[in-house]
A and B are shown apart, each in its own frame.
Chain A
Amino acid sequence: MRPERAPRPSLASVQAALLSRITGQELGLPVVGAASSIRSDARASAEERLAVYAFMYRARLVEALESQFPRLARLLGAEAFADLAARYLALWPSRHPSLREIGRALPPWLATSRSEAPAWEGLASLEWARADVYDLADEPAMTLEALRAFPPERFGELPLTLIAAHRFVEVDRATEALWDALAPDAADLAGAPSPSSEAGPDATLLVWRQEIAVYHRAVDSEECAALVLVAAGSRFGAICEVLSAAHGDEIAAARAFAWLSSWIADGLLAAF
């Protein structure tokens, strides 16, 4: 009598075993020997064949992260960035069909991980915010023509809403200078400032997309508060009232109209 062959593992268990070996993820269930279902031959063993996939997995995801955090990668260098990416991916493997989402958790992970340098969080947050707005839905922006056509006597009721393709990023004060120093055309990194490793965020950057270009700039606390109101959907009169309480009517009106003008020029306001 020939011994009975062991039953073939199910499709689900084969896939769990293979994915676990390729990604290094524990999937929380007993894993059948991944290599036992893989055929070996003279060209390569089952282990060597698995290693091809494991190598490509890491290379592909590190490359995707590098494309989303190019300045952080430049700052750390290729090897250190790949190591950082591997530590991140071990905790935050991809759970989305698109690699577009792979870097979403990297900034908060940097900020909260005790073993990583939280000082890089500002740079990473800025890079992620820029990547995140890059392909969000287009929407018509408010124009000066539309503003001029709005009845002046009802200006206080002018509806203000920020376009969806914007983000507020709280960063270390050194982040902006670090960003500039790490530009692709910057000659060397010798002059790159060091981010503070002790202080919390002390600057707010506004990131947004106008047409196809992505921009960011620092906003002071007063403009930031106004923009937060606008992001939630506000009216021009409400912005004026806040300013008026702090500065009086004359200064408030001048400042509110200056903001409105620059927000429209930057394509920050959605059409009404």
Chain B
Amino acid sequence: MTTRGTTPLFPNLGRGLGLRREHYQHVVENRPAVDWFEVISENFMGAGGNPRRVLEAVRRDHPVVLHGVSLSIGSSDPLDQRYLAELDALARAVEPAWISDHLCWGTAHGINAHDLLPLPYTEEALAHVAGRVEMVQERLGRRILLENPSSYLMLDGDMAEHEFLAELARRADCGILLDVNNVFVSAHNHGWDPQAYLAAMPAERVGQIHLAGHSEDGGLLIDTHDGYVADGVWRLYADAVGRFGARSTMIEWDAEVPAFEKLEAELGRAARWEKMVLGERRHAA
């Protein structure tokens, strides 16, 4: 099954990379032919110094999207209004194509674990998160995207993660950042069907795709972002492209960061998979 004909809510920016400190100088000096960059919002919330200068320089040449890790949209703690104000100020300065964060929580009783902790997929949590997404979108004046996290534990709930995410996106009118590596990792860790996950996603709401490497620890896969995209993830990416069409796609590589050229080469593999899948579709048509 494919979902040809659906109009995405977010423009296809092409293929991008995460902007990491190790590559600041290279990117500013060489202005590489990457379609767009994703930056971690929290790394640029300081109003000055080198990070902000780098971001301004990159923004002059490329579209940028903001990707946060601290919104804690699923937390029972109140939304952090100071954080939202800083995010809003950054967005006004950078004018990103969009803002994303994760379907997760990271704080309780004011203490921050700085992690992307999984929610119990219950009706209570769904109503709670949907209300908070609407508040955030109202505060930022724009539709946000939420990313499916990698998870290593699953809490008792009423529905599967993919059902929760799809219903949340519809109910709160937000977008989905589909991390294909996270689908692969979580499916392995919990015995989920990754195809059922993809099939449940409302295609028009999938605005961006993440790809990354993972590693194995005992019986679990860990989302380490420290290596090449695994073969199984590439196959799942091809399935996602087949279902959703071309979407803004990027590679995350955050540990043991290689030379920029290696990242560009990995991004080239994404381009080849996309071309192959969409080329086959055209032939079939």
Contacts and interface: CB of A to CB of B under 8 A. Distances in A.
Contacts of B5: none
Contact of A16 (B108, B114, B119, B156): B108
Contacts of A25: 111
Nearest to A101: B112
Contacts of A139: 48
A85 B269 CA distance: 41
A11 interface: yes
Contacts of B113: 19, 22-23, 53, 57, 94
Contact of B124 (A11, A52, A97, A135): A11
A154 B208 CA distance: 60
Nearest to A19: B108
Interface stretch (A42-50, A103-111, A166-174, A198-206): A42-50
Given A39-B156, A135-B47, A19 B109 contact: yes
Given A53-B152, A94-B111, A95-B110, A18 B189 contact: no
Interface string A13-50: 01110111011010111000000011101111010111
Given A43-B189, A135-B52, A14 B120 contact: yes
Interface in A138-157: 138-139
Contacts of A49: 152-153, 220
B217 interface: yes
A15 B189 CA distance: 21
Nearest to A52: B152
Nearest to B120: A14
A29 B154 CA distance: 23
A11 B119 CA distance: 8
B49 A23 contact: no
B115 A22 contact: yes
A270 B236 CA distance: 55
The size bracket of the interface on A is 35 or more
B47 A212 contact: no
B61 interface: no
A11 B42 contact: no
A263 to B, nearest CB: 19
B114 A57 contact: yes
A128 B51 CA distance: 18
B47 A53 contact: no
A128 to B, nearest CB: 15
A49 B108 CA distance: 19
A97 B49 contact: no
Nearest to A67: B21
Interface string A108-140: 000000000000000000000000011111110
Interface string B137-160: 000000000000000111110000
Contacts of A136: 46-49
Contacts of A46: 153
A12 interface: yes
A93 B122 CA distance: 29
B75 interface: yes
A99 B80 CA distance: 15
Given A15-B108, A19-B111, A57-B115, A52 B217 contact: yes
Contacts of B111: 19, 23, 25, 27, 93-95
Contact of A98 (B45, B110, B153): B45
B154 A39 contact: yes
Contacts of B51: 135
A132 to B, nearest CB: 10
A209 interface: yes
Contacts of A11: 76, 119-120, 122, 124-125, 128
Contacts of B70: 97-98
Given A8-B120, A27-B109, 10 more contacts: A39-B154, A43-B191, A44-B189, A44-B219, A52-B220, A53-B117, A60-B115, A93-B111, A97-B70, A100-B42
Interface of B: 42, 45-53, 70, 72, 75-76, 80, 83, 105, 107-115, 117, 119-120, 122, 124-125, 128, 152-156, 189-191, 217-220, 222
23 contacts: A11-B122, A16-B76, A16-B109, A19-B108, A19-B109, A22-B115, A25-B111, A37-B155, A37-B156, A41-B190, A44-B220, A57-B114, A94-B111, A94-B112, A95-B112, A98-B70, A100-B45, A135-B47, A135-B50, A136-B47, A138-B49, A139-B48, A212-B53
